[in-house]
Structure 1
């Protein structure tokens, strides 16, 4: 059995009368990359902040890196690298100055050498004098990751780290994440991108503060028990709503010019699809369920207990 870097049960956080994280159990093995997926406002950021000691849970217990989530929060912070959704370093400081500042916060010995190592690790040497505020999204991302790694953490908590960066920067970032995992660092990363989810060892899907699915990509797809039809040749508007009203249909989503119609009741869905075969120009075929099909279906069946919330990044 792989030792657990994260092992928490019953994690709960409330704001006034709203429960934003509700009885979450989360286990992540050492050296694993766990994708943390869910819609905006689902509780991902709040969960991550509780794991790294920035928020105290109202209920729940467990450990990160063998340290108690409640009593050892300060020690957890020193062994975790947390990359926030928004760029959190000083834009009027250079790359080197930002890294030196973070090294001072952690009171690192041989600070100059540690900064040099961080610059080299993320390919930042040639830009070290450039102001952070003048960097593109991809280079800001590299700087933020370098700052997360400078104190040699054993666990990385990355909150939507690739939002707003170009495809090449995303690919380079994920190559680095896999290299870090190969070195034994555990990674919990929240993302909205299905191609990134497919690069994770394990996945956890959360909606409205509750875990709806967990496992590997194949385990989640198989466990969903979805039947999916691809519908091509749709002409005109209104087809999405028309398909959603059919018996057995749990979700309808557009993939380019194709509509994916998914449902758990295979017989009811098959009968509903059969009723459409006489439609002129319409082409129906069975399709393999994708992660996106599964997550759209899960979200459609989830109970929104925080619908009145206006705060983002929950």
Structure 2
């Protein structure tokens, strides 16, 4: 049995060129929750994700992973993390089945274990009848589902998803969130970065970023009530007016 994972971000700063992408961000990602990292384009969401993954080194501050409250070195948790990047990262000429086989070999998953996971993932994504279709021929929603399947093959305990529903139609967005809810039932730590304000209310906890700074953090309805607004669009407009 493994424990439950959490992440603490302490006063992280990161400058990319002349852009202060993260300006002293402190956040808490509690275990077994679906966390939304919400903010418009340029808020710092992708920079934060890459910093959490160790792909970027903070200029100041720190990222701390914990298992059952006990701090871990990043190398001890790296293999337990799955990452779904914002940009297209699949191989256009490979079919769904070929992608799954490729990642099976990459993660060194035993054949019996792979067959079980493959069938389960094809069932929950409803992609079973399209296993011979190349990635380049998939719709936007199906492409995102394939990316999620590839990330899930290793049975991660932490998932970092960078704008996973960006550019897909409303029905595909809804179906993708239904998949995430099924994953959340497994009590793994899920972080979803999104610029869609309506998706904030789908999360257990939200962390709002604006221009590289943390604006608010907490349960969605509590934040809206505290800020005296009806929607997260209104909340960001409110903060934009204050900043100007």
TM-score normalised by L of structure 2 = 0.88
* Counterpart pick for 1:122 among 125, 134, 137: 125
Task: Please tell me whether Structure 1 or Structure 2 has the larger radius of gyration of its CA atoms.
Answer: 1
CA contact (8 A) 2:38 2:197 kept: no
Check if 1:209 corresponds to 2:150.
no
Alignment counterpart, residue 148 of structure 2, candidates 141, 145, 148: 145
Q: Is the 8 A contact 1:52 1:76 kept in 2?
A: no
State the shift of 1:150 in Å. Answer: 0.5
CA 1:107–1:55: 2 relative to 1, 3 Å: farther
Structure 1 residues 96 and 68 mapped into 2: Cα distance closer, same or farther (>3 Å)?
A: farther
Deviation, 1:22, is 1.6
Shift of 1:52: 1.8
The one of 177, 181, 186 aligned to 2:184: 181
User: How far apart in 2 are the matches of 1:103 and 1:53?
Assistant: 23
Structure 1 residue aligned with 2:221, among 201, 218, 222? 218
Relative contact order higher in (CA < 8 Å, ≥ 6 apart): 2
Extract unaligned runs of 5+ from structure 2: none
Q: Is the 8 A contact 1:79 1:154 kept in 2?
A: yes
1:292 aligns with 2:204: no
Per the alignment, in what secondary structure is the counterpart of residue 195 of structure 1?
Answer: helix
* 1:194, distance to aligned residue in structure 2 (A): 2.7
Farther-moved stretch of structure 1 (3-12 vs 34-43): 3-12
- The structural deviation recorded for 1:158 is 1.0
The equivalent of 1:62 in structure 2 is 63
CA RMSD of aligned residues (A): 2.1
Equivalenced residue count is 237
Q: Distance in 1 between matches of 2:239 and 2:84?
A: 27
Give the match for residue 38 of structure 1. Answer: 39
Q: Give the 4+ runs in structure 1 shifted more than 4 A.
A: none
Which residue number corresponds to residue 110 of structure 2? 109
Say whether the 8 Å CA contact 1:8–1:63 is kept in structure 2. yes
1:97 is displaced (CA, Å) by: 0.9
Residue 18 of structure 1 deviates from its aligned partner by: 3.3
Pairwise CA distance, 1:195? 2.5
Q: Please state how far the C-alpha of 1:122 moved relative to its aligned partner.
A: 2.1
Q: Secondary structure, in 3 states, of the residue corresponding to 2:92?
A: coil
Q: Distance in 1 between matches of 2:36 and 2:64?
A: 19
- Which structure has greater helix proportion? 2
Alignment partner of 1:163 out of 162, 166, 169: 166
